[in-house]
A and B are shown apart, each in its own frame.
Chain A
Amino acid sequence: MFFKQPNGIIFAIKLETEIVQKSIYKNNFRFMKILICISKTPDTTSKIAFTDNNSKFSTDGVQWIINPYDEWYALVRAIEIKEADPSTILHLINVGGVESEPIIRKALALGGEEAIRVNSDVADSYFVASQIAQIAKEGNYDLIFTGKETIDYNGSSIGGMIAECLDIPFISHAVKFDIVNGNAVVVREIEGGEEIDSAPFPLVVSCQKGMAEQRIPNMKGIMGSRTKPLKVVEPVEISALTSVVSFDLPPAKAGVKLISADHPEELVRLLNEEAKAI
């Protein structure tokens, strides 16, 4: 096994397997252990419809994808960290039923050594975060990446919840992430600007556009993903705090009112008098 010291010198050492399993960052040696949270969401172009008296999302004809924030930004940035330092360990985690496995395999085709699936339906964000926190605690991860939100529930809450469960820092809306002198340096988006934070490991970071560029898995990755370990674990007992009562769709727009290009002043009049928007 190769280790890298903070000063960048790499040396070889023989270790017992159980020690290798643990992150030993705290002993000033490090190989970074990263857990990337992967969620299954409907493709962005999916038709949004509901069944069972509007209490369930209609999955008819829905194409499932890895939540784009999890894939394009969290996972790809983690892969880049591993490319810069091959001793890094990347694990993926998903809370979901067996139907999540195709998107987990797709994520493994991009990168990561193994995946863990917590075998359960998604009850609410508190339930999901508690499951992930349990695995994170057992696996002693240095860094947990999530997307900034899922594109279906738009909760933005899993990362913060995991961090609180583990009592570690959480930095949200990261657009840039680097490791400098053993600390995380994160540029995060805030309203009307950016903030640069630094924090020690372990920590949780939620990722968004800017962190990395979207990648397409190559054939080697796809072939390799089939044999990577996908561990299935049963959930710990957690009671959800919220439940979905129903869904509804916004009222349809009345249709566009077209105004002649010769008379933009008419648009201005309508915006002022009819829409009362200016």
Chain B
Amino acid sequence: MSVLIFIDIAEGKIKKASYEAASYGAAIAQQLGASANAIVLGKSDELLSLGNYGISKVYNLSNESLHHFDAQVFTKLIADANETIGADIFVFSNTTTGKSIAPRLSVRLKAGLVSGAVALPDTSNGFVVKKSVFSGKAFAHIAINSANKIIALNPNSFSVVKTEGVAEIIDLNLSIPAGKVAVQSVNKIIGDVPLSEADIVVSGGRGLKGPENWGIVTDLAKLLGAATACSRPVSDIHWRPHHEHVGQTGLAIAPNLYIAIGISGAIQHLAGVNRSKTIVVINKDPEAPFFKAADYGIVGDAFEVVPKMIDAIKKLKESV
């Protein structure tokens, strides 16, 4: 029995969500008295760092062509590599990459899949994984009944655990099948924190009255090292790009801290943010439904409150 964790890289860098998956997979291995190994498809010089997250062996296929993602190719490579690795529990992070590969691998290996896991499996009676359902409004406990098992872990739901350890890097010798998907271009918003991985998210709604007023949102976000987000109406009327839209039909996020400025908190918006650990709501309207879902709130004018918050945070940072 062993655990194999898929590590996703971008421009050679290991993603934060993958470190979480590594820690999570290592914890499962420890629970079962098994070993935790990782597989990395592509070139990265950060592979040794995985030893600090409980990984024993890193299986690596370092090839330029893997720089471009094709779920069909990646799935086949993982399955082929596993013929020698022999893992029976597979861990992915539940990101766009994980969501593309994990279901394919599930079919290929006849491995039951739980995507959106939020806690370690309960192995006291079978193998039961807790996952988020109903857009964060409930949890389901799902038993995986097949011999091979796959878990896709939600980002920001398992804390990275750093240990002292050394990983052994093993080069895989596999032939790479020709892919059918051609990646024509990748357009990343350089320098910004990806919304799905951000620890802190500052979000603005229609209460801000216009895109020209977004300065207070971006200033606060910059100060906190946070990602920026917005409500659906704001992206619909193009005040902000649609990839910032969080909510039922946008991105579902689970940051440590979510600060909502001028967002009333419709149920569809809450569905995308209710897994946030701490929610702060700043709104002029004391009747805004968001206050019911918040941990902290200020009833007041955002244009007065937020600049004062920014000053207070600056003072706090200076005092540390």
Chain A contact residues, CB within 8 Å of chain B? 42, 44-45, 48, 50, 68-69, 72, 124-126, 129-130, 151-161, 163-165, 167-173, 175, 185, 188-200, 203, 208-210, 240-250, 253-254, 256-261, 264-265, 267-272, 275, 277-278
Sample of 20 further A-B pairs with CB below 8 A, known A185-B184, A208-B249, A259-B297 = A44-B267, A48-B134, A156-B103, A157-B113, A160-B102, A171-B71, A191-B17, A191-B96, A191-B194, A194-B243, A195-B186, A197-B182, A244-B140, A245-B128, A246-B141, A249-B139, A250-B139, A261-B301, A261-B305, A267-B312
Are B312 and A265 interface neighbours, CB within 8 A? yes
Bitwise interface map of B from 279 to 314 toward A, beta carbon under 8 Å scored 1, else 0: 011000000000111111111110011101101110
Q: How far is the CA of A29 from the CA of B108 in the complex (A)?
A: 33
Q: Is B316 an interface residue (CB 8 A)?
A: yes
The 3 closest A-B pairs by CB, nearest first: A261-B300, A160-B103, A241-B112
| Chain B residues near A188 (CB-CB < 8 A) | 96
- Compute how far the CA of A167 lies from the CA of B72 in the bound complex, rounded to whole angstroms: 8
Most buried by B among A50, A254, A259, A264: A264
**Closest beta carbon of chain A to B247's beta carbon, Å:** 10
Q: List residues of chain B with CB under 8 Å of any chain A CB.
A: 15, 17, 69-72, 75, 94-97, 99-108, 110-116, 128, 131-146, 179-189, 192-197, 200, 224, 242-243, 245, 248-250, 252, 256-257, 267-268, 271, 274, 277-278, 280-281, 291-301, 304-306, 308-309, 311-313, 315-316
* Choice from B116, B134, B184 contacting A155 with Cβ under 8 Å: B116
Cα distance A272–B278 when bound, in Å?
12
Would you mind naming 19 contact pairs between A and B with Cβ atoms under 8 Å apart? A126-B112, A151-B248, A152-B133, A154-B132, A154-B135, A160-B71, A164-B106, A168-B72, A196-B186, A200-B180, A240-B145, A243-B142, A248-B139, A258-B291, A264-B305, A268-B312, A271-B278, A271-B296, A278-B313
Contacting residue for B70 out of A68, A164, A169, A258, CB 8 A: A169
CB distance from A147 to the nearest CB of B (A): 10
- In the assembly, what is the distance between CA of A200 and CA of B112, in Å? 29
Query: Cβ of B115 and Cβ of A172 under 8 Å apart?
Result: no
CB distance from A181 to the nearest CB of B (A): 13
Nearest Cβ on chain A to B89's Cβ, whole angstroms: 14
Alpha-carbon gap, A248 to B138, bound state (A): 6
B189 touches A161 (CB 8 A): no
For the complex formed, measure the closest distance between the CB of B5 and the CB atoms of chain A, giving whole angstroms.
18
With contacts A241-B110, A265-B308 taken as known, whether A258 is within 8 angstroms of B133 at the C-beta atoms is no
A193 touches B189 (CB 8 A): yes
Pairwise interchain contact B101-A277, C-beta atoms closer than 8 A: no
**A173-B144 contact in complex given A191-B15, A199-B182, A261-B304, C-beta closer than 8 Å:** no
Given A245-B143, A253-B295, A264-B308, also A160-B138 (CB < 8 A): no
Q: From B17, B99, B224, give the contact of A157 (CB < 8 A).
A: B99
Q: Which residue of B lies closest to A126 (CB)?
A: B106
How long is the Cα–Cα vector from A157 to B106 in the complex, in angstroms?
9
A208 to B242, CA, bound (A): 11
CB neighbours (8 Å) of A253 from chain B are 292-295
Contact A210 B297 (CB under 8 A): no
Cβ-defined contact, B296 with A256, below 8 A:
yes
Q: In the assembled complex, which residues on chain A have CB atoms less than 8 Å from the CB atom of B75? A: 164
Option from A130, A155, A243, A268 in Cβ contact (under 8 Å) with B309: A268
The complex places the Cα of A173 from the Cα of B243 at a distance, in Å, of: 12
Given contacts A152-B134, A209-B245, contact A158 B103 (CB under 8 A): yes
> Are A256's CB and B294's CB within 8 A?
yes
User: B106 — which chain A residues lie within 8 A by C-beta?
Assistant: 126, 157, 160-161, 164, 241
A265 to B144, CA, bound (A): 48
Q: A161-B106, A241-B113 are in contact. Are A198 and B181 (CB under 8 A)?
A: yes
B192 shortest CB reach to chain A, Å: 6
Q: How far is the CA of A156 from the CA of B145 in the complex (A)?
A: 20
Question: Does A164 contact B309, Cβ atoms closer than 8 Å?
Answer: no
Q: Are B71 and A172 in contact (CB under 8 A)?
A: yes
Given A194-B187, A245-B143, A247-B138, check contact A125 B103 (CB 8 Å).
Answer: yes
User: Is B248 a contact of A44 with CB atoms below 8 Å?
Assistant: yes
Q: How far is the CA of A245 from the CA of B142 in the complex (A)?
A: 6
Which B residues are CB-close (under 8 A) to A244? 140-143
Q: Which residues of B contact A208 (CB under 8 A)?
A: 249
Contact present for A197 and B183 (CB under 8 Å): yes
Indicate if the CB atoms of A267 and B133 lie closer than 8 Å.
no
